[in-house]
Chain A
Amino acid sequence: MLNDPRRVIVDVANVSKHFGEGDARVDALKDVDLSVQAGEVVALLGPSGSGKTTLLNVIGCIIAPSTGKVTLDDEVVYDNQWLRDDLRKLRLDKIGFIFQFHNLLPFLDAKDNVALVLKLAGKSTAEAQRRAIELLDYLEVGHRKDAMPALLSGGEAQRVAIARALANSPRIILADEPTAALDSKRAGIVMDLMRKLAAEQDACIIAVTHDEKIYDRFDKLFHLRDGQLDGEEGDAT
């Protein structure tokens, strides 16, 4: 089952999310349906305030939707009024996050930033360090494993952040503007790397982006407008 590339990893069904009540009510998501299969790399596109980040937060188990059903890797996270109570563990085990500005912890070196996630998952220090170095080497930043984040270039820091996101071999990788801080050449390299990893780890990647230069690196582009899915472009490559 795990090796079935057509298996749905993320299933968002009829999800709505509103903030506030009465006159102050804001509908951030309206009846959104979205499915992402293993190995797929998809983008959420749309203008500012269209609900991209809210949808990313719902899929990332950071906020609960108001209605609808969310299933991640065959585990129901939310079903109308019911919400799982171990979302932190679920995030740790199944989801990797990549941020616009890498968000590496400034007081840990590159290796320990990656190893931290493995330590949190209960791995021994030696095992965590070994896996961290392995990932950094794979992402070609192994030579910078002892460098503090402030001393890394933008591209190096983003690769370390990707290594951290992949440390626990998550099935879902959520990326918020992953290439916004990179030039077009490095953005292309990072996206190719993410595609390769998604394929190798049988994971799916959902990215919020405004970077038109990398649209061709996605399998699908989902357009959001006013909290609703406005359209889908399949197989952008």
Chain B
Amino acid sequence: MNLAYRDVRHNLFRFVLTCLGLSLLMAVVLAMIGIYNGLVADALNIVKAPRVDLWVVESGTQGPFAEASKIPGGTRDAVTRLHGVAEAGSISYQTVEAPFRGETLRLYVIGYEPGHPGGPEAISAGRGISQSHFEIVADAKSGLSVGDVIRLGRDPFTVVGLVEDTTNSAGDPAVFITLRDAQVLQTQLAPSAQRVQEARGAGLLESQDSVAAVIARLEPNADPHAVAQTVRQWKHLGALTQADQESILLMSVVDRAKRQIGLFLGILLSVSAVVIALIIYTMTMEKLKQIATLKLIGAPDRTIVGLIVQQSIALGAVGWSFGLILILLVKDYFPRRVVLEPINAAALAGIILFVCIVASGLGVRAALKVDPATAIGG
């Protein structure tokens, strides 16, 4: 005869309502975990997408994600000739806002050299870029479809293919265009501004042939650190291995968001603990007369503690389950990617179990202090 179960069944409607309230809190906790995972996954996706071993950037910078980097376009040829380098490609990154069907799309534009590393790897619809100009491969989250035409800068681009899960750490969907188009997009001025520049003789002074980085795939037996060291001998260049780049991205770009979300998670879990403790305490206070009766008829303390702790754990378990189901149902409607791994849900279950046991302490304390004489009255 499980008293906790019987009591829950007796007050099922109230218990379910309480669980639903708690599940909303759990859903928010899971959403925060998922958003953080999504943030990291998005950030690393962009870095991992080219599947390269080495990033050649401007000397003294940690570009191109953590800070701006600008190197001559011809660097790619020099890097390709280095011992241990299998292939290399120039690449550029920039964020643009483009009007499309009455809305403004915020896009992360990746310029790459077709036939070299840096382009879209897995096309989910359509095809890759085959012409030198005005073709675009977009992330499906951008809302663009194959055949759509979108204006970037002053030129119209036709969407020829789609890719999945390619967004930057800010959640902006990526689009791929040729490096040449990207360089034009980066330096192109509005007609009036162009005329002013030309009038003062500075129209084309700034070279368009600069890129954010040169990425390189190495020979199977090449040591990335040794090749990076060789690159650094050119004083105007810096070099980062893939591991360095991922680490920098996580440390400099994602770290603040991680701490922010971590703190928010801590606050949410604390709120959950207080809410569970208050619910359990209130449920216990409502049962004081029954607990006194149980004590009077000879129920041991473990029966009374079991009644409270089991209900607390049931509350947490049902709240966690509802919360998990809820977030799995709505996660695709979030504007940012929500990535939930089984380990996250399991870890939260462990934390909630701990919180429930600790939170029920207040109720247990109140129950154990109940005088059996309360049942008799007078």
A-to-B contact residues, CB < 8 Å: 52-53, 56-57, 60, 62-63, 88-89, 91-93, 97, 99-100, 103, 105-108, 112, 115-117, 119-121, 125, 148, 164, 176, 208
Report yes or no: B290 in contact with A116, Cβ–Cβ below 8 A.
no
Q: Beyond A106-B10, A107-B9, is A97–B378 a contact (Cβ under 8 Å)? A: no
Is residue B303 within 8 Å, beta carbon to beta carbon, of the partner chain?
A: yes
List B residues 137-188 near A (Cβ within 8 Å): none
Report yes or no: A88 in contact with B373, Cβ–Cβ below 8 A.
no
Is residue B297 within 8 Å, beta carbon to beta carbon, of the partner chain?
A: yes
Note all chain B residues with C-beta closer than 8 A to A60.
Answer: 296, 376
Query: 1/0 per residue B1-22: CB within 8 Å of A?
Result: 1010011011100000000000
Is residue B220 within 8 Å, beta carbon to beta carbon, of the partner chain?
A: no
Note all chain B residues with C-beta closer than 8 A to A112.
Answer: 1, 6
Set B1, B6, B371: member contacting A119, Cβ < 8 A: B1
23 A-B contacts (beta carbon < 8 Å): A52-B378, A57-B373, A60-B296, A62-B376, A88-B295, A88-B299, A91-B298, A97-B376, A99-B293, A99-B376, A100-B377, A103-B290, A105-B293, A107-B3, A107-B7, A107-B10, A108-B3, A108-B6, A112-B1, A117-B298, A120-B297, A120-B299, A164-B297
Is residue B372 within 8 Å, beta carbon to beta carbon, of the partner chain?
A: yes
Note all chain B residues with C-beta closer than 8 A to A93.
Answer: 298
- Looking at chain B's contact residues, the main secondary structure is helix
Report yes or no: A107 in contact with B11, Cβ–Cβ below 8 A.
yes
Count class of interface residues, chain B = 20 to 34
Q: How far is the CA of A176 from the CA of B375 in the complex (A)?
A: 10
Residue of B293, B297, B300, B375 with most partner-chain A CB within 10 A: B297
Closest-by-CB residue of A relative to B1 is: A119
Q: How far is the CA of A105 from the CA of B377 in the complex (A)?
A: 16
Q: How far is the CA of A99 from the CA of B374 in the complex (A)?
A: 11
Q: How far is the CB of A72 from chain B (nearest CB, A)?
A: 14
Q: How far is the CB of B372 from chain A (nearest CB, A)?
A: 5
Report yes or no: A120 in contact with B377, Cβ–Cβ below 8 A.
no
Report yes or no: A91 in contact with B296, Cβ–Cβ below 8 A.
yes
Note all chain B residues with C-beta closer than 8 A to A108.
Answer: 1, 3, 6
Set B294, B295, B377: member contacting A176, Cβ < 8 A: B377
Report yes or no: A106 in contact with B290, Cβ–Cβ below 8 A.
yes
Q: How far is the CB of A161 from chain B (nearest CB, A)?
A: 10
Closest-by-CB residue of A relative to B294 is: A105
Closest-by-CB residue of A relative to B375 is: A103
Report yes or no: A99 in contact with B375, Cβ–Cβ below 8 A.
yes
Given contacts A60-B376, A62-B373, A103-B375, 5 further A-B contacts (CB under 8 A): A53-B376, A57-B376, A105-B293, A107-B11, A208-B378
Closest-by-CB residue of B relative to A97 is: B296
Note all chain B residues with C-beta closer than 8 A to A92.
Answer: 297-298
Report yes or no: B377 in contact with A97, Cβ–Cβ below 8 A.
no
Is residue B289 within 8 Å, beta carbon to beta carbon, of the partner chain?
A: yes
Q: How far is the CA of A176 from the CA of B378 in the complex (A)?
A: 9
Set A99, A103, A106, A120: member contacting B298, Cβ < 8 A: A120
Query: 1/0 per residue B343-378: CB within 8 Å of A?
Result: 000000000000000000000000000011101111
* Top 8 closest pairs, chain A to chain B, by CB: A92-B298, A53-B378, A107-B10, A107-B7, A103-B293, A107-B6, A91-B298, A62-B373
Q: Beyond A100-B377, A103-B289, is A125–B300 a contact (Cβ under 8 Å)? A: no
Note all chain B residues with C-beta closer than 8 A to A52.
Answer: 378
Q: How far is the CB of A59 from chain B (nearest CB, A)?
A: 11
Report yes or no: B297 in contact with A91, Cβ–Cβ below 8 A.
yes
Closest-by-CB residue of A relative to B298 is: A92
Note all chain A residues with C-beta closer than 8 A to B298.
Answer: 88-89, 91-93, 117, 120-121
Note all chain B residues with C-beta closer than 8 A to A208.
Answer: 378
Query: 1/0 per residue B286-309: CB within 8 Å of A?
Result: 000110011111111001000000
Closest-by-CB residue of B relative to A95 is: B298
Residue of A53, A103, A164 with most partner-chain B CB within 10 A: A103
Note all chain B residues with C-beta closer than 8 A to A120.
Answer: 297-300, 303
Report yes or no: B373 in contact with A97, Cβ–Cβ below 8 A.
no
Q: How far is the CB of B3 from chain A (nearest CB, A)?
A: 7
